[in-house]
Amino acid sequence: MTAKKLITALSLATCLSLALAGCGDSRAGGDTAGGAAPRGGTMGADGVFRVNADGCPPDASEPLPDGAPIKVGVSMALSGPLAAVGAPNIDGLRAVFAAANDEGGIDGHPIELVVKDDAYDPARATANAQAFTGQDKVFATLLQISNASIIATRPIYEAACVPQLGTISQHKEAADPERHAWTTVTIPPAVTEAEAAAEYLAKVHPQGAVMEFRQQVTLGEDWAQVFPGAAQRRGLRLLEVQHIAPTETNLDAPAAKLTASGADAVMAEVQGPMCVSLLQSLAKAGFTGSVVLTSACNGAKQFMQPLGKAADGVAALFFQKDPSTPSARTDPGMRRYFDDLAKYQPKADPTVTMTLNGYEAGNLLVHNLRAAARMEGGLTRVNLMNAAWNAQVERTTFLQPKQSMNGPKDPYIINDVTVQTYDAATGDWKPTGVVYTYRAE
């Protein structure tokens, strides 16, 4: 059914003109308009990717004073159309940081979370970035959502040499270490999911007819660039795309058109509540073909269980385990997650996929902070970025737990996407044997 990716985007709203002199802090050092801001990085002969720190403010290479907190800024939607996404992510972050602090923090430094609401608005995300690099003096940021907000805020973080880590976007521009090495991405690109979906559909419907339901948001735009080619290379026949308005709630008309078309399958390039609306409309229209959902709709509890038998056999894209299934509670790889949530965030719902998403983003940051602290020069922002780009980690809540990054050779921490189908009788997912692994070009 769907993995866990939440990405999406408003229309590519106006990005504020970013005069770094207006960021209000000496960290901004340099004129971005003149191209002075450090941006890219290079691969060394030793196989280690290093960010370009030339022109960075001096404190980017200075270790934190003994005992000083590691401030981590998070700009996320706590209001607006994605408010339901923001709060669970924050719950997960609070749990993993509290667990790390209970273990003594990072080399004696406690982690301190600084949260700001951006309402999924690039202009507000930009204002938050200016505050983070100005008066808040954060050490790093996490989980900026949507390509529009990432692009709007990236010059601010680059000029200040503040790591912009674990951003959430499937757009190909989001992970670009050779030009924008101060930004990393926490999910695989759209092409990985699209290839996996096409592989699955070609397996169950050789030479079959597929209709795309494409929500008119960034998610849909990203899929429009990659799914048609992936499908056609596998001999699938694509029917007329059904374009869905971002806030549409009734999909009965396109569902009826799909059923009348004789399509074998539908590729649902949608997110959020529209996942449930789509499945309800397909059931009403009597569609009996295959349904594939993106990873933006992959929680069994949130999207499948409310539909009962109507969700049986629906396929979704995954890279992380679903914490809402019965098998998750007995999975040894999920035990620490559930234990940490129960201990440090007892009021949070650990079965929500976005809670796990926040927890794992924080878990990866803790890993990279510890690696940076062991480097020559100690815990600096430059070392943190270098640690992030050369990470090797095992995260057992993922379907492929062994993960790594290595600059342009391996720009994504998650490279594998699998297809699973929902079993309404057990309330759990079943593997289909389809796995696609992303390889950098």
Residue with tokens 């009021």: 347
Of 123-127, 143-147, 311-315, 427-431, the range with the lowest mean pLDDT is 143-147
User: Over the chain, what is the mean pLDDT?
Assistant: 90
Assessment of whether the complete model's pTM goes beyond 0.75: yes
Say yes or no to pLDDT of 2 above 60.
no
What confidence score (pLDDT) does residue 37 get? 52
Burial (CB count within 10 angstroms: exposed 0-12, middle 13-18, buried 19+), residue 123? middle
Say yes or no to pLDDT of 13 above 70.
no
pLDDT level of residue 5 (50, 70, 90 thresholds):
very low
Start-to-end CA span in the chain (Å): 28
Say yes or no to pLDDT of 187 above 90.
yes
What confidence score (pLDDT) does residue 27 get? 46
Segment 138-149 shows an average pLDDT of 94
Which two three-digit tokens encode residue 310? 């109507």
Which two three-digit tokens encode residue 52? 């370009």
In this structure, which CATH number among 3.40.50.2300, 3.90.330.10, 3.90.1200.10, 3.50.50.60 belongs to the domain 190-318+416-437? 3.40.50.2300
Of 47-51, 136-140, 215-219, 416-420, the range with the lowest mean pLDDT is 215-219
Q: What is the pLDDT of residues 405-437, one digit of tens each?
A: 999 999 999 999 999 999 999 999 999 999 999
Contact indicator for 220, 285 with CB cutoff of 8 Å: no
Segment 17-23 shows an average pLDDT of 27
The 3-state DSSP class for residue 196 equals helix
The 3-state DSSP class for residue 393 equals strand
Rounded to whole angstroms, the Cα distance separating 367 from 386 reads 13
Say yes or no to pLDDT of 168 above 90.
yes
Structure-model confidence comparison of residues 248 and 400, the more confident one: 400
Rounded to whole angstroms, the Cα distance separating 389 from 407 reads 5
Rounded to whole angstroms, the Cα distance separating 361 from 316 reads 22
Report the Cα 416 to chain-centroid distance in Å. Answer: 14
CATH topology classification for 20-187+334-404 = Rossmann fold (3.40.50)
Over its C-alpha atoms, the chain yields an Rg (Å, rounded) of 21
Q: Which H helix or E strand runs over 167? A: strand 164-167
Residue with tokens 């989001």: 174
Among residues 303, 323, 330, the alpha carbon closest in space to that of 424 is found at 303
Angle, alpha carbons 275-261-295 (nearest 5°): 25
What confidence score (pLDDT) does residue 232 get? 97
Q: What is the pLDDT of residues 66-121, one digit of tens each?
A: 999 999 999 999 998 778 889 999 999 999 999 999 999 999 999 999 999 999 89
Q: How many CB atoms lie within 10 A of CB 347?
A: 6
Among residues 157, 161, 187, the alpha carbon closest in space to that of 75 is found at 157
Considering the chain, what percentage of its residues have pLDDT values greater than 90?
A: 80
220-243 b/e (C-beta count within 10 Å ≥ 16 → b): bbbbbebbbebbeebebeebebbe
Rounded to whole angstroms, the Cα distance separating 297 from 273 reads 8
**Which residues face 428 on adjacent strands?**
423
Segment 270-282 shows an average pLDDT of 89
Q: What is the pLDDT of residues 176-186, one digit of tens each?
A: 999 999 999 99
Rounded to whole angstroms, the Cα distance separating 146 from 8 reads 6
Say yes or no to pLDDT of 33 above 70.
no
Rounded to whole angstroms, the Cα distance separating 282 from 310 reads 9
In the chain, where the domains are located? 20-187+334-404, 190-318+416-437
Segment 393-401 shows an average pLDDT of 97
Residue with tokens 């992303």: 438
Same fold, 20-187+334-404 and 190-318+416-437: yes
Q: What is the pLDDT of residues 214-243, one digit of tens each?
A: 998 888 889 999 999 999 999 999 999 999
DSSP class of residue 10?
-
What confidence score (pLDDT) does residue 11 get? 29
What confidence score (pLDDT) does residue 248 get? 87
